[in-house]
Amino acid sequence: MKRREFLGTSGAAVIAAVIPSSPLARQPSSPPYSRLARVGLELYAVRAAMKADPEGTLAKVKAMGYDDVELLWSFDNFGRTPAQVHATLTQLGLNAPSAHIAPEALLKDWDKSLDTARYLGHRYLIVPSLPAETNRSLDAWLKWADIFNTAGAAAKKAGVSLAFHNEPDHMQPIGGKIPYDAFVARTDPKLVHLQLDIGNMTMGGGDPLAYAKKHGARYVSLHVKDITPDRKSDTELGKGTVNIKAILAAIPDVRSKPCYVEQESPSDELAAARQNVQYLRALDF
């Protein structure tokens, strides 16, 4: 299932709740290496488990050693009310610094979405993909870039940051140009931030290390994902071809930015999530 299909098309409905976010903890590290201060899980990685037992799954996620989760506003929080989500996260001590939202949320009742996000304590609202019109048209990408600039200005005024997440097909040329590059160039870096999915970038044929070095300051969040040699699937962290250490080291102040595990197609969601958090907890970079 593609993320676009999972998110649905009704981005205006903000159905999410999190405990208020606190600044990401900074933990001491010993030179010359560093480790992530916090590790998060994008809940899309455990979507089947969340559908079956959301509260129980979140408890398992916390027990695995995750500090943060990234929510999915457009999927009705797996059938839970905002009050239920708030209660579970509060009880478990999980934090949710960001949520993925459908792009249509920028077009309707955006002010209400921002009010909700600010109330819930989100630092970031992140759009992971764009409508099908952008599959064929670079002009459509530029139109959406302008929409993001406008929405980003309103978000900044409300104390929330708007960001865009990359998918593999964002690197496929349209008319000889990479649409992701055109979008990034068109958007105002003061108003529109970026979430780097290092696995998606690799699958699409891009070089995540080069992008991390070029746009490092704009990347306010990361999806940490490893990819098989054939670039057709993701895999457990450390088993693929992505140079995770180098990419993390290339992002300025990465230890203060939400970094989420997201393995989208594991054979066992919870087993993979457990293995991935253990990998990141021990990773020096």
- Does residue 27 sit within a domain? no
State the total domains in the chain. 1
- Short-list 67, 22, 43, 97, CA closest to 281: 67
List, as one string, the DSSP characters of 189-246. TTTEEEEEEHHHHHHTT--HHHHHHHHGGGEEEEEE-EE-TTSSSEESTTSSS--HHH
89, 77 contact by CB (below 8 A): no
Give the other-Cβ count within 10 Å of 10's Cβ. 15
Residue 22 lies in a domain: no
Count the Cβ atoms, other than its own, within 10 Å of residue 97: 25
Distance CA 199, CA 211 (A): 12
Would you say residue 277 lies in a domain? yes
Strand partners, 161: 124
Between CA 236 and CA 218 the distance in angstroms is: 27
The whole domain housing 201 covers 3-16+33-282
| Domain membership flag for residue 21 | no
- Report field, pTM of the whole predicted structure over 0.85: yes
For residue 53, which amino acid is it? D
Start-to-end CA span in the chain (Å): 33
Q: Give 129-150 pLDDT, tens digit per residue.
A: 999 999 999 999 999 999 999 9
Query: How far apart, in whole angstroms, are the C-alpha atoms of residue 210 and residue 156?
Result: 28
| CATH code for position 158 | 3.20.20.150
Evaluate whether 239 touches 181 at the Cβ level (below 8 Å): no
Residue type for 63, please? A
The pLDDT, as a whole number, for residue 74 is 66
Residue 26 lies inside a defined structural domain of this protein: no
Taking only the tens place, the pLDDT of each residue in 80-106 is 877 787 889 889 999 999 999 999 999
Residue 28 lies in a domain: no
In a domain, 55, yes or no: yes
The first and second tokens of residue 219, run together, are 């990347």
pLDDT at 172: 97
Confidence band, pLDDT 50/70/90 cuts, at residue 3: low
